[in-house]
């Protein structure tokens, strides 16, 4: 493989053993790998450096884990060691053998007496029971296509429950897209199975916490691991069941380092380790939807996933009525349309909660001088600095550069500099003004709260703010997509999307899919408690303010018809030979100048054609172009798209091209090149 290093050891060590080895002047963590994958014999007279120490008391990482890491490294074009060590807890990488031994000697918390006792099991609906029965009797993988509020989480719980009861050594892996969804789901699993049976695993934990969870999973003490995308690499020797909740979410794709898809690796791992895999979503990714297509006369084989459908909400709750507002017919610069403002006022006066979605944080995207056309551009990026009114700062959301808001225009001195556009901070301020005369049923003023990345920086702030919403202490919730996913708000009866049009005109072919999913997920927060809605005597609503209210995305959203939306999008994808009907990779180059970045990509493309690399005849290499945000932190970025109708051909070519890219990288003609990387199955183009 050319990536393994050889060391001497006084005794044979089984593959998967964790060791400390010298590397240059440092001492680092290493994993003993399989002998049959080692490079050829060493040159005669080679003196091997000895292994510095073995992490005793830890069972070796098993073969399925090593195969997963090797596949991820091979498929995503990364070094084996990079993926293997990144998959281990960072705290473990810094421990010497004697420190690790002390760590293992620490007393563990007493086991929960109810750790393996199933509690609070609830009766299943007919649709839930049917889904569980198919999961139990068929091999999968499964795509659980269920409406928001249809009870997908209960299906996860019941399937895991049956698996744990059937096998006392079995383990389950439950993946969620974002950290803020982990505590909520963890509470439900802990309430059902006992706290000591469930461990979290995500980047929001401290190093010692992550190590503790990883060791519990590796030893089999933890029956259930619940975490974000990083948890797909958890060592689970008894793995029998994998759940990927909200499988459509782009957060499952790692965007730094090894750019893997945790969802796709979960499918691969399930097949290799004999574990059933359940993907769940109300708006599945088009790739998963296509992979779960039923057989037809034209396509007798159908897809490779089994599709399970749960269209009904629990308790006969209705999906929200979608109301579209043509903003071209509203007063210019209106924040909320007149009918939407009236609807929010009426809901608050009845004691109901409303949610207003704007997927852009800050006060305004840019400050602008009307006299000389100056804009608050970032000096280090080809992007604007966002105006944050709370701390009177201009902040770049790409490189983090922050300055105080100037008192006058830096270019012409005019004091007339004004914000352009709108973010959640401004929307909150304007809602406070528009609803200032509105009273709740107890005759107290309306209470408005904002949840976004700026208001949840402090530790525990996110949980505290969500608790306020659940308790009814908030009447109108303003936020970004953070508030739209997975939260079970029981008293929200109206959801409004105030500015969704930007995604309709994006250059990214996935933008309509993402917008539809976001709006469907947001709308699903309304009317989740059928009993409460019946007591209120009203129907839940979703309002969409748009200058293009008749767009196909909003037409299918109006009827909550995801299958129709998916069919229309898949027809367009097939005509354009886009995924899932083709397979893509991006090669990106970062350099001091755009000319160097694009020159490197052009030279690498020319070298591939000159060498007639294997697989090239089935791969199209497009010319290099700048990224949409082409400069970040004074680094110019360019990309080149690769497309192939066959995944195997693309992989074959990338494997052969890697050495050409490395050779091109060292060509003196490309001085100034900082880095290059390959992104297989990219989500953003």
CA gap 60, 73 in Å, rounded: 20
Query: In which residue are the tokens 């970032």 written?
Result: 378
Is 540 annotated as ligand-binding?
Answer: no
Tokens of 267: 């499918």
Residue 440 phi, psi (nearest 5): -80, 170
CA gap 228, 226 in Å, rounded: 7
3-state secondary structure of 596: helix
Tokens of 83: 């993926």
Q: What share of residues in the chain are helix, strand, coil (percent, to 5)?
A: 35, 20, 40
Q: Which of 176, 287, 169 is CA-nearest to residue 226?
A: 176
- Say if residues 518 and 282 touch (Cβ distance below 8 Å): no
Establish how many alpha carbons lie within 13 A of residue 559's alpha carbon, considering only the half-sphere containing its beta carbon.
9
Is 132 annotated as ligand-binding?
Answer: no
- Say if residues 348 and 435 touch (Cβ distance below 8 Å): yes
3-state secondary structure of 393: strand
Count of beta carbons in the 10 Å neighbourhood of residue 88: 20
- Say if residues 236 and 225 touch (Cβ distance below 8 Å): yes
Which residues, other chains included, contact 664 with Cβ-Cβ below 8 Å and sequence gap of 6+?
600, 603, 604, 607, 670
Is 432 annotated as ligand-binding?
Answer: no
DSSP letters along 433-476, please?
Answer: HHTTT-B-TTSPBP-EEEESTTTT-STTHHHHHHHHHHHT--SE
- Say if residues 483 and 355 touch (Cβ distance below 8 Å): yes
Is 9 annotated as ligand-binding?
Answer: no
Maximum CA pair distance of the chain?
89
Tokens of 598: 């694009």
Q: How far is CA 528 from the centre of its chain?
A: 24
- Say if residues 393 and 403 touch (Cβ distance below 8 Å): yes
- Say if residues 451 and 465 touch (Cβ distance below 8 Å): yes
Is 354 annotated as ligand-binding?
Answer: no
Is 548 annotated as ligand-binding?
Answer: no
CA gap 96, 28 in Å, rounded: 9
Edge-to-edge strand ranges of the sheet holding 306-310: 198-201, 224-227, 171-175, 239-245, 276-281, 142-146, 306-310
Binding residues for Zn(2+): 369, 372, 378, 381, 396, 399, 409, 412
Binding residues: 369, 372, 378, 381, 396, 399, 409, 412
């Amino acid at each position: 493989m050319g990536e393994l290093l050889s060391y001497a050891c006084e005794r044979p060590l089984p593959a998967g053993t964790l060791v400390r080895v010298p590397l240059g002047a440092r001492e680092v963590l290493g994993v003993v790998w399989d002998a049959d994958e080692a490079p050829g014999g060493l040159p005669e007279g080679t003196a091997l450096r000895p292994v510095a120490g073995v992490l005793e008391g830890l069972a070796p990482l098993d073969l399925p884990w090593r195969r997963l890491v090797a596949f991820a490294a091979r498929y995503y074009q990364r070094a084996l060691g990079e993926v293997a060590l990144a998959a281990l807890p960072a705290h473990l990488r810094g421990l010497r053998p004697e420190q690790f031994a002390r760590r293992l000697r620490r007393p563990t918390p007493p086991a929960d007496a109810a750790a393996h006792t199933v509690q609070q099991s609830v009766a299943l609906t007919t649709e839930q029971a049917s889904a569980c029965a198919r999961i139990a009797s068929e091999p999968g993988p499964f795509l659980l296509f269920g409406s928001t509020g249809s009870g997908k989480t209960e299906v996860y719980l019941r399937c895991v429950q049956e698996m744990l009861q059937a096998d006392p050594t079995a383990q389950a892996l439950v993946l969620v897209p974002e950290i803020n969804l982990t505590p909520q789901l963890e509470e439900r699993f802990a309430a059902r199975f006992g706290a000591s049976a469930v461990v979290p695993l995500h980047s929001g934990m401290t190093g010692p916490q992550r190590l503790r969870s990883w060791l519990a999973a590796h030893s089999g003490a933890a029956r259930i691991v619940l975490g974000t995308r990083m948890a797909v690499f958890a060592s689970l020797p008894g793995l029998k069941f994998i759940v990927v909740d909200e499988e459509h979410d782009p957060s499952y794709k790692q965007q730094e380092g090894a750019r893997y898809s945790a969802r796709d690796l979960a499918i691969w791992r399930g097949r290799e380790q004999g574990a059933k895999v359940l993907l769940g979503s109300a708006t599945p990714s088009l790739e998963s939807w296509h992979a779960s297509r039923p057989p037809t006369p034209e396509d007798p084989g159908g897809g490779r996933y089994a599709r399970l459908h749960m269209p009904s909400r629990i308790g006969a709750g209705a999906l929200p009525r979608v109301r579209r507002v043509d903003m071209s017919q509203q007063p210019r610069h209106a924040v909320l349309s007149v009918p939407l403002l009236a609807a929010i006022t009426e809901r608050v006066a009845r004691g109901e909660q409303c949610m207003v979605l704007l997927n852009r944080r800050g006060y305004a995207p840019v400050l602008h001088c009307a006299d000389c056309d100056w804009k608050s551009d970032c000096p280090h990026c080809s992007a604007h600095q966002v105006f944050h009114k709370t701390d009177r700062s201009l902040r770049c959301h790409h490189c983090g550069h922050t300055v105080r808001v100037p008192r006058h225009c830096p270019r012409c001195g005019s004091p007339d500099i004004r914000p352009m556009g709108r973010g959640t901070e401004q929307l909150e301020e304007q809602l406070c003004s528009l609803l200032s005369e509105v009273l709740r049923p107890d005759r107290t003023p309306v209470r408005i709260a904002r949840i976004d990345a700026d208001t949840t920086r402090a530790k525990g702030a996110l949980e505290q703010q969500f608790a306020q919403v659940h308790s009814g202490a908030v009447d109108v919730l303003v936020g970004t997509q953070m508030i739209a996913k997975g939260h079970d708000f029981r008293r929200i009866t109206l959801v409004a999307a105030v500015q969704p049009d930007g995604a309709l005109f994006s250059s990214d072919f996935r933008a309509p899919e993402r917008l539809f999913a976001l709006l469907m997920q947001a709308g699903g927060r309304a009317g989740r408690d059928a009993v409460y809605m019946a007591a209120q005597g009203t129907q839940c609503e979703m309002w969409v303010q748009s200058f293009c209210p008749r767009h196909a995305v909003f037409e299918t959203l109006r009827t909550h018809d995801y299958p129709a939306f998916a069919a229309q999008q898949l027809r367009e994808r097939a005509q354009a030979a886009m995924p899932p009907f083709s397979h893509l990779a991006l090669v990106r180059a970062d350099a001091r100048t755009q000319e160097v970045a694009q020159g490197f990509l052009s030279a690498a493309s020319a070298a591939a054609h000159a060498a007639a690399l294997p697989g090239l005849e089935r791969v199209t290499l497009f010319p290099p172009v700048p990224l949409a945000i082409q400069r970040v932190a004074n680094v110019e970025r360019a990309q080149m798209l690769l497309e192939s109708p066959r995944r195997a051909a693309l992989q074959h070519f990338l494997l052969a091209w890697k050495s050409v890219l490395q050779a091109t990288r060292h060509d003196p003609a490309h001085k100034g090149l900082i880095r290059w990387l390959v992104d297989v199955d990219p989500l953003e183009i």
